[in-house]
Structure 1
Amino acid sequence: MNTCQLCEQPDETGSYLCVGCTRATTVRLECLPDLYAGLLPFLAPSTAVAQGRGGKGGPAPLPVREEILDLRGPGGMVGVVEDWLAALRADRGWQPLVPAGSVEARLKSAVHGLHANMPWIATTWPQAGTFASEIRDLEKGVRSIIAPEPAADRGRRIGNCPALDPSGTLCGAVLRLAPGEKAVRCEWCGTAYPPYVWGQLKTWMAEDQAARDVA
């Protein structure tokens, strides 16, 4: 039994990629042309006015966002996919392809070439894990620009944990009431403070703060 090179879970098929990771990598490949097109509206730089002191004689800002331009350029998304297609063709003993057409057309062509070889990649290619990992990172990175995930709500800050360890050392980690939770729980020491002890918790925290102020 092999271990999948991407998720590192046992794979009964003996392949380099398990069925789930093969399917996920195939879907990520299929998404790349649409993600490439989705970057276009983000080329324009922010129109926000910078605050602070200005100077004369500095270089003019680029009319586009450079990181987006790089991703959409010859060495960006298409470069990653074409490099993998070239490696695959070399390992299969096939003649190299000469890229032709626009960057978008080249990307679609390279994606098609890799997509058509996914069964061979998953079962036979020793580089399957590295390939799948790089495609995953590429898709995730571009998607984070187009549709970034909202920042996680860490909850309301309560204060500092007043719990003492067996040696008498104060924990002092920041306590937060997580969204949807009824008890405050310290992420550092694991001590839980249900609502019925919140009055005492407030007293303990006040005492600890007073001790710190004196020190």
Structure 2
Amino acid sequence: MTCELCGNAASGYLCNRHREQLAARLLELPALYREVGECLVPRRTGWGDIVATKASAGPRSPVDEDVIDTVNWARATEVIHGWRADVRRLRWPHRGAVPPARLDADCRWLAQELDWIVAQYPAAGDLAREVADLNSQVRSIVGDPEPRLQRIGYCVALVGEGVVCGAVISRLPGETRLMCRWCGSAYGPEDYLMLHHFQPADSR
């Protein structure tokens, strides 16, 4: 099988890297949305001087409408609950009704079911994409963007007689041990010089 998100070889619908990302995002999402509540206080120019977030007649809104437009936590709860209901329908078809929607409980439940989701749930890629979108939207408000992968180079491991893997190797900031997501070869700090030496000349 190949990963629904990156196309790399995988033992299920997601590779290990994207499974780990989905697990982390599910566990982070409720806390991020709680943090959004602190961003709902309207912008101020001074003591008690509220600046309207939109040009409109009538009383000023008691909350920052720009934040509400960008991140709708009610929609996030609805989306995540929908995924829980669908996974539960396939995973546990004989169980009763799904509990009422609660973002934290639904995210935690999906995270606990990730082994089955990755191995058996054909829509695992769509779930991962939608959770990533919700995560990105809420992080744009709280000012805490996810760290971007840094491209290091190409894997130089031999995967056959005279055949070099050549897959792109990347890492998150701060990671010191590199691993090729395609062939599984690992590179520690002691291998960096060798890895750099064998990179194609036009990629250095």
1:84-163 aligned within 5 A: 84-92=83-91, 93=93, 94-99=95-100, 106-147=102-143
How much does 1:36 deviate? 1.3
TM-score, normalised with respect to structure 1:
0.56
Q: Which of structures 1 and 2 has the bigger CA Rg? A: 1
Matched, 1:26 2:23: yes
1:39 partner SS = helix
Pick aligned residue for 1:40 from 37, 46, 53: 37
* Stretches of structure 1 lacking an aligned partner (at least 5 in a row): 101-105, 150-215
How much does 1:61 deviate? 2.6
How much does 1:67 deviate? 5.1
Once residues 21 and 3 of structure 1 are traced to their aligned partners in structure 2, the CA distance between those partners, rounded to angstroms, is: 12
1:78-89 aligned within 5 A: 78-89=77-88
1:63 partner SS = coil
Partner of 1:173: none
Once residues 113 and 72 of structure 1 are traced to their aligned partners in structure 2, the CA distance between those partners, rounded to angstroms, is: 21
Contact 1:16 1:126 in 2 (8 A): yes
TM-score, normalised with respect to structure 2:
0.59
1:110 partner SS = helix
How much does 1:147 deviate? 1.3
Once residues 29 and 137 of structure 1 are traced to their aligned partners in structure 2, the CA distance between those partners, rounded to angstroms, is: 12
The residue identity in structure 1 corresponding to 2:116 is W
How much does 1:120 deviate? 0.6
Once residues 37 and 8 of structure 1 are traced to their aligned partners in structure 2, the CA distance between those partners, rounded to angstroms, is: 34
Partner of 1:7: 6
| TM-align CA RMSD | 2.5
Contact 1:89 1:96 in 2 (8 A): no
Once residues 137 and 80 of structure 2 are traced to their aligned partners in structure 1, the CA distance between those partners, rounded to angstroms, is: 14
* Stretches of structure 2 lacking an aligned partner (at least 5 in a row): 146-204
Once residues 72 and 141 of structure 1 are traced to their aligned partners in structure 2, the CA distance between those partners, rounded to angstroms, is: 9
- Once the two structures are superposed, residues 89-110 of structure 1 have per-residue CA deviations (whole angstroms, 9 ceiling, x without a partner) of 112214332316xxxxx11111
How much does 1:69 deviate? 4.2
How much does 1:33 deviate? 1.6
Q: 1:50 to 1:117 in 2, by over 3 A?
A: closer
